Amino acid sequence: MSMSPGLRKFALAVHLTLSVGWIGAVVAYLALDVTAATSRDAQTLRAAYIAMGSIARFVIVPLALASLLTGLIMSLGTKWGLLRHYWVLISLLLTVIATAVLLVETQVIGSMAHMAADPMYTGERLRAMGSTLVHSVGGLAVLLAILVLNMYKPQGMTRYGWRKQQNERRQREQFVR
């Protein structure tokens, strides 16, 4: 299946918007996570945890899922294909892993936000909750790696892609004869 040029450009614009939005939302989350990891003030901690819960649930997760879906659409609807090039396959794998880790970590974040919203959690209890800094920094690193991979599109076809390319060449040669 191949998209028309207009549809391909539209799909690419949507995919890029969602993907860059995902990165931006993670950066915003990371700022709050750094605040949660370094602040000693109970009100600041409470606000940071609650905001982290909202950003993760209502912004990051939807952007991650939509980015994954539009990435699949782009790979299936363009010449790159889903299984032809290693960079597409690696990008897909990293996106699936990042999304899966995010979905698991969102449960932890939600629990932290719920506890922070409870007035029974005061100073020491809030400070003892910790942060999700390792996951947010790791997630951002993975997203940036995916971005670089998709910008540079390194050479290398999978065995499937190579066979498909050879079959297409043979068909063109037979058609010309």
pLDDT digit string (tens) for 120-159?
998 899 999 988 999 999 999 999 999 999 999 888 888 8
| pLDDT mean over 80-89 | 89
User: How confident is the model at residue 1, as a pLDDT?
Assistant: 63
Task: Tell me the mean pLDDT in the region 162-172.
Answer: 86
Where residue 110 falls among pLDDT bands split at 50, 70, 90? very high
How many domains does the chain fold into?
1
Q: pLDDT tens digit string along 16-73?
A: 999 999 999 999 999 999 999 999 999 999 999 999 999 999 999 999 999 999 999 9
Contact 71, 91 (CB under 8 A): yes
Check whether 176 has a pLDDT greater than 80: no
Q: Give the separation between CA 52 and CA 135, rounded to whole angstroms.
A: 13
Structural domain containing residue 146: 5-176
**Could you tell me where the DSSP H helices lie in the chain?**
5-38, 42-55, 61-77, 86-117, 123-127, 133-152, 159-176
pTM score of the predicted model: 0.90
Q: How far is residue 114's CA from residue 128's CA, in Å, rounded to a whole number?
A: 15
